[in-house]
Amino acid sequence: MKPALIVHGGAWDIPDEAVDACKSGCQRALGAGWTLLAGGGSALDAVEAAIMVLEDDPVFDAGYGSHLNLDGRVECDAIVMNGATLRSGAAATLQRVKNPIQLARKILENCPHMMLVAEGAERFAKEHGIKLCKPEELVSEAEQEAWMKCKADKHAAEHHRGHEQGTVGAVAIDRDGRLFAATSTGGTCCKLPGRVGDSPLIGCGCYADSEAGGVSCTGYGEAIMKIVMAKTAVDLLRSRVTCVDPIAAADACDLSSADLAAREAVHLLGKRTHATGGLILLDRHGNPGFAFNTPRMAYGYVALDGNFVIAV
Ligand code: ASP
């Protein structure tokens, strides 16, 4: 089967100054994942490699440069899911793991449970060869500055502007038809310590089923959880999508069923929760789809001719 790969770097009001950095991050993430897939590598290795690039890039809200919580600390969440077995590995509220996706993978492959949090997750990381970092090593100067402004002025919304979101995700299918989806985030700016959003929750921020497709979501976590958005989108891929979104219905003939499913899920998010967000997906044949109801989303995928399509 022909491999396929799609990535995202968050759906939000991305300011003009951040567009190039977001594009370049998506380009490098696609490059890292596609090099593996094109060489016959596994979809699991590809999503991990793509997400690590995005986690290491401070323009995104994952790993280094994540938003700080109310206490001024980074707390990261991540998940990776196997579409063949429906098994996921997830970790939440990590303060000392540089690349949370690596720990999610270790949990997927080596843990009897599917999700670990906080100290227990970090202990598991250490026991499985992941070196823990100091919490301060995950804090970027820009996020520290933004947090100081929030602190001095009661976390006013305008301080969050320009550094609002930027969760990252990837979905891949390899030559052998293996499908994996993954999501990694630092969560929302100035969240309460211990808060966990949609991102590491199976069915909410991520879902994969080889019989239908794989999805990674981004946006307002508390709303995405309400409609279990990733699983909803996968179920839309499974069924024939009926258009309730009038805009999608109007150009339905120009849209692939993958794009239609993505649009329907995001439409439902807006309709039932009045919140914003977006998602990327691959259907089981590897066709990419995406949708967002925010001003912008950073994303990229490998087109049929092998070219990278990157957009913000
Ligand atoms: N969904 C993430 C969360 O709520 C944030 C985001 O996607 O930007 O933690």
Res. 80: pLDDT tops 90? yes
Separation CA 290–CA 303 (nearest Å): 13
Query: Looking at ligand 1, which atom is closest to the CA of residue 12?
Result: 8
Name the band, by pLDDT with cuts 50, 70 and 90, for residue 285.
very high
Average pLDDT on 246-269 reads 80
- The residue extents of the domains of the chain are 4-311
Separation CA 54–CA 310 (nearest Å): 14
Note the pLDDT of residue 266: 98
| Residues paired with residue 282 on neighbouring β-strands, in sequence order | 214, 288
Q: Is 197 in the pocket of ligand 1 (CB under 6 A)?
A: yes
Query: Angle at which helices 100-110 and 43-56 pack, to 10 degrees?
Result: 150
What is the CA(202)–ligand 1 centre distance, in A?
A: 14
Between 12-21, 29-38, 251-260, the lowest mean confidence (pLDDT) is in 251-260
Res. 162: pLDDT tops 60? no
Average pLDDT on 214-222 reads 97
What is the CA(165)–ligand 1 centre distance, in A?
A: 7
Average pLDDT on 149-175 reads 78
Q: Is 188 in the pocket of ligand 1 (CB under 6 A)?
A: yes
Catalytic residue among 93, 167, 185, 218: 167
Res. 24: pLDDT tops 90? yes
Between 14-18, 46-50, 132-136, 245-249, the lowest mean confidence (pLDDT) is in 245-249
What is the CA(143)–ligand 1 centre distance, in A?
A: 16
Nearest residue to 74 via CA among 86, 82, 62: 62
For the CA atoms of 42, 51, 173, 126, what is the dihedral angle to 10 degrees? 40
Note the pLDDT of residue 242: 54
What is the CA(39)–ligand 1 centre distance, in A?
A: 32
Q: Is 10 in the pocket of ligand 1 (CB under 6 A)?
A: yes
What is the helix (H) or strand (E) element at residue 202, kind and residue range? Answer: none
Average pLDDT on 142-171 reads 78
Res. 89: pLDDT tops 80? yes
Note the pLDDT of residue 270: 97
Res. 30: pLDDT tops 90? yes
Note the pLDDT of residue 146: 87
What pTM was computed for the model?
Answer: 0.94
Note the pLDDT of residue 117: 98
- Which residue from 77, 188, 206, 293 has its CB within 8 A of the most atoms of ligand 1, so it is best to mutate? 188
Separation CA 57–CA 284 (nearest Å): 30
Pick the CATH number of 4-311 from 3.40.50.300, 3.30.1370.60, 3.30.450.40, 3.60.20.30: 3.60.20.30
Residues 6+ apart with CB under 8 A from 135: 73, 74, 95, 96
Note the pLDDT of residue 13: 86
What is the helix (H) or strand (E) element at residue 18, kind and residue range? Answer: helix 16-38
- Which residue from 59, 165, 280 has its CB within 8 A of the most atoms of ligand 1, so it is best to mutate? 165
Note the pLDDT of residue 62: 96
Nearest residue to 53 via CA among 83, 28, 82, 23: 28
Separation CA 294–CA 276 (nearest Å): 6
Note the pLDDT of residue 155: 62
Nearest residue to 10 via CA among 60, 64, 73, 78: 60
Q: What is the 3-state secondary structure (H, E, C) of 240-285?
A: CCCCCCHHHHHCHHHCCHHHHHHHHHHHHHHHHHCCCEEEEEEECC
Residue type, 76: C
Arithmetic mean of pLDDT over the chain = 93
Note the pLDDT of residue 150: 83
What is the helix (H) or strand (E) element at residue 159, kind and residue range? Answer: helix 157-160
Angle at 262 between CA 165 and CA 91, to 5 degrees: 50
Nearest residue to 62 via CA among 46, 71, 50: 50
Separation CA 72–CA 74 (nearest Å): 7
What is the CA(221)–ligand 1 centre distance, in A?
A: 5
- Which residue from 220, 226, 299 has its CB within 8 A of the most atoms of ligand 1, so it is best to mutate? 220
Identify whether 218 is a catalytic site residue.
Answer: no
Average pLDDT on 130-159 reads 85
Res. 213: pLDDT tops 70? yes
Average pLDDT on 140-149 reads 90
